[in-house]
Amino acid sequence: MLKNASRWDTATQRLPRAALLIALAAGAVALSARGFYEPDLWWHLAQGREDAAGRLVRSNVFSFLHPEYRQHYTAWLFDTVAFGAWSFGGGAAIQSLQGLLVALALGLSYMACRAHGPPAAAASVLLLGFFVIEPRAIPRPHLVSLAGMAACSLALARARMRGSAQPLWSTIPLVALWSNFHVEAVFGVVLLGVAALSEWLWPRWWARAEAGRAILIVLGCVVATLATPYGWGLWQYLLENTTVPAMLDIAELQPPYLPNYRAFWIYLSAAGLLLVLPPRRFHPGDALLLLVFGALGARYLRLTPLVFLASAPAVTARLAALLEHGLDRRALLITAAVVAAASSRVPLRVLATELRAGDAAVRPVGFFSEGAVAFARREGLKGPVFNSNNLGGYLAWSLYPDVRIFQDSRLQAAPPGFFRAIVRASGHQETWDALTSPVDWAVLSLARPGELSGVGRFPRRTWATVYWDEAAQIVIRRGGAYDTRIHRNEYGVVLPGVDPFAIAARLRAADAPRILDEARRNLRENPRGYLAPAVLCLSGDAAACGELDRLANDAPAVRDAVDRVRRVVGKG
Going 507 to 510 to 513 to 517, the CA torsion angle's sign is negative
Mind listing the pLDDT tens digit for each residue in 280-319?
778 899 999 999 999 999 999 999 999 999 999 999 999 9
* Nearest-angstrom CA–CA distance, 224 and 128: 32
Cα-Cα-Cα-Cα torsion 214, 190, 235, 63, nearest 10 degrees, comes to 140
Give this prediction's pTM: 0.93
Whether the Cβ atoms of residue 413 and residue 61 lie closer than 8 Å to each other = no
What three-state secondary structure class fits 16? coil
User: How high is the pLDDT of residue 4?
Assistant: 44
* Nearest-angstrom CA–CA distance, 448 and 471: 8
Mean pLDDT in the chain?
A: 92
Mind listing the pLDDT tens digit for each residue in 147-161?
999 999 999 999 999
Residue 370 has pLDDT above 80, yes or no: yes
User: How high is the pLDDT of residue 16?
Assistant: 61
C-alpha angle 221-227-230 in degrees, rounded to nearest 5? 130
User: How high is the pLDDT of residue 244?
Assistant: 65
- For residue 476, what are the CA distances in angstroms to 150, 401, 446, 463? 50, 20, 16, 5
Exposed, middle or buried: residue 507 (CB in 10 Å: 0-12, 13-18, 19+)? middle
* Nearest-angstrom CA–CA distance, 457 and 432: 7
Residue 97 has pLDDT above 90, yes or no: yes
DSSP sequence for 39-107? THHHHHHHHHHHHHTT----B-TTBSSSTT-B-S---HHHHHHHHHHHHHHHHHHHHHHHHHHHHHHHH
- For residue 75, what are the CA distances in angstroms to 32, 178, 189, 422? 21, 9, 17, 26
Mind listing the pLDDT tens digit for each residue in 541-568?
999 999 999 998 888 888 888 888 888 8
Count Cβ atoms below 10 Å from residue 562 Cβ, excluding itself: 21
Whether the Cβ atoms of residue 265 and residue 304 lie closer than 8 Å to each other = no
Residues 170-174 have a mean pLDDT of 98
How many helices (H) and strands (E) are present in the chain, helices listed first? 27, 6
pLDDT-derived band at 247 (thresholds 50, 70, 90) equals low
User: How high is the pLDDT of residue 339?
Assistant: 96
Residue 251 has pLDDT above 80, yes or no: no
Residue 386 has pLDDT above 50, yes or no: yes
* Nearest-angstrom CA–CA distance, 118 and 378: 62
Range with the poorest average pLDDT among 106-110, 256-260, 293-297, 408-412? 408-412
Mind listing the pLDDT tens digit for each residue in 408-420?
999 888 998 899 9
Angle between helices 559-571 and 542-554 (to 10 degrees): 160
Count Cβ atoms below 10 Å from residue 556 Cβ, excluding itself: 8
User: How high is the pLDDT of residue 300?
Assistant: 92
